[in-house]
Amino acid sequence: MKAAKRVSTAGHFELAIDGHKTTAYLKSVEGGSVKNNVTTEITGGHLQQIKHLSVAEIEPITIDFGLSGAKDILKWIQDSWRREYSRRSGSITHANFDYRPTFEQEFFEGIITETIFPALDGGSKDAGYLKIKVQPERVAEADKPGTGPRIGGIMGSKQKQWILSSFRLHIEGIEEMKHVNHIDSFTIKQGIKKLHTGLDRFAQIEPTKIEFPNITGTIAQGYCKDLFKWHEQTGYKGAADPKSQKHGYLEFLGPDKSTVLFRLMLDEIGLIHLSTAASTANADQLKRTKFELFVGRMDIDATGNLGLE
C-alpha cells in the first residue's frame, strides 16, 4: 500500500541573520514572495488591450517576535533609527509541530521599513511581541526543502516576563505620566526608494527619510494637573518650540513592575492635544483624559535587563 503523503503544517520558525541564528521566539512570519506587475497596452483601431508582465516586486517580510534572544534584531532596529543603515541577509526556517524543518526562505540585502509596537494596556495579561517589516532586494529563486535537525524554537523566561500591562512612561517635569494606563500601538517607518536599473528584474533599494509617530494614550483625570499646565502653555499661551518640548522614555517592565527590560528613549516631545476620553453614563469607570504627543526622535536604550549590549 502506498504511503500517504505528509502535508506540511504551520508550526514553528527559526530566524538566522547574516549566518547567526537567533533564539528569539517567532510568533508569526508572512511575505517574501515575488509579485509580477502587469502592463496594459492599447493597440489597433479597435483599442484592443494587450497585457504582459513587466518588472517584479518582492513582498516585504513581516515578523512578529519575542524579546528574549532578539539582540541581533533589536541592534538592527537601533542602527536603522540612528541612520546607520545596515542591510542584512538571512533565512527563515519553517518547521512543523514536531520542530522538523519543512522549507526555508532566504532573503538578501534587507532593510527594516517598519517597527511596530503593540498597544500597551494596564489591564492586559497578554505577552508582548514586536513586529518588523523587512524589504529585501533579492530573495532565493525558490524555497528550499527543509533539511537538518530539529529547529531550536524556544520561548525563554525573559519573553514570558514581558506582558502588555508592564510599562511606564516618563516625561521630564510631568511626573504624573507614570500613571498612564494605556498607550495605543505605534509604528516607526523607514522610507525607501526603489530604483529600476538596466536589465535587473528587481529594484535596488535605497533608504530615505525615517518617520517617528505620534504617541496617544489615556490617563486618569486625577493625575493630569501638570499635563494640563503644559497644555495651557502650548495650546492657549502659544509657548514656542523647542523651549516647550521635553525629553522622556517609555519603559518596558517585568511582571514585578520594577525590573526594566529595555527603554525606548523619546526626544523632542511636544503636546499636540488633550481631550476627555469617551465615557458612559452610570458606568463604573474612572474619568480619563486622552493625550497625543509628537516625538522628534526615538532610540533603543540597550542597558536594560535583556542585556542587549
Within 10 angstroms of residue 48's Cβ, the number of other Cβ atoms is: 9
160 forms bridges with which residues in the sheet?
Answer: none
Q: Which residues contact 303 (CB under 8 A, 6 or more apart)?
A: 263, 309
pLDDT score, position 265: 96
Distance CA 299, CA 192 (A): 20
Report if residue 83 sits inside a domain: yes
56 with 201: CB under 8 angstroms? Answer: yes
Distance CA 301, CA 222 (A): 31
- Lowest average pLDDT, out of 25-39, 86-100, 147-161, goes to 147-161
Report if residue 62 sits inside a domain: yes
Length of the chain: 309
Report if residue 7 sits inside a domain: no
pLDDT score, position 283: 55
Report if residue 79 sits inside a domain: yes
- Does the pTM surpass 0.75? The reply is yes
Q: Report the SS3 class of residue 2.
A: coil
Q: Which of 4-8, 140-144, 184-188 has the highest mean pLDDT?
A: 184-188
Report if residue 293 sits inside a domain: yes
pLDDT score, position 5: 43
Distance CA 170, CA 248 (A): 5
Residue 130 to residues 10, 13, 36, 142: CA-CA distances in angstroms? 20, 16, 30, 28
Within 10 angstroms of residue 195's Cβ, the number of other Cβ atoms is: 10
Q: Which long-range contacts (CB under 8 A, 24 or more apart) does 276-284 make?
A: 276/221, 277/218
Please give the tally of structural domains in the chain.
1
User: Pick the residue with more confidence: 238 or 90?
Assistant: 90
Distance CA 66, CA 73 (A): 10
Report if residue 306 sits inside a domain: no
Distance CA 243, CA 145 (A): 59
Report if residue 156 sits inside a domain: yes
Residue 217 to residues 1, 119, 156, 298: CA-CA distances in angstroms? 63, 9, 30, 17
Distance CA 285, CA 288 (A): 9
Q: Which residues contact 56 (CB under 8 A, 6 or more apart)?
A: 34, 35, 36, 37, 201, 202
What is the domain extent for residue 87?
A: 12-38+51-301
pLDDT tens-digit profile of 117-134?
999 999 998 988 999 999
pLDDT tens-digit profile of 171-202?
999 999 999 999 999 999 999 998 887 777 78
pLDDT score, position 156: 46
218 with 254: CB under 8 angstroms? Answer: no
pLDDT score, position 11: 65
pLDDT tens-digit profile of 209-218?
999 999 999 9
Report if residue 6 sits inside a domain: no
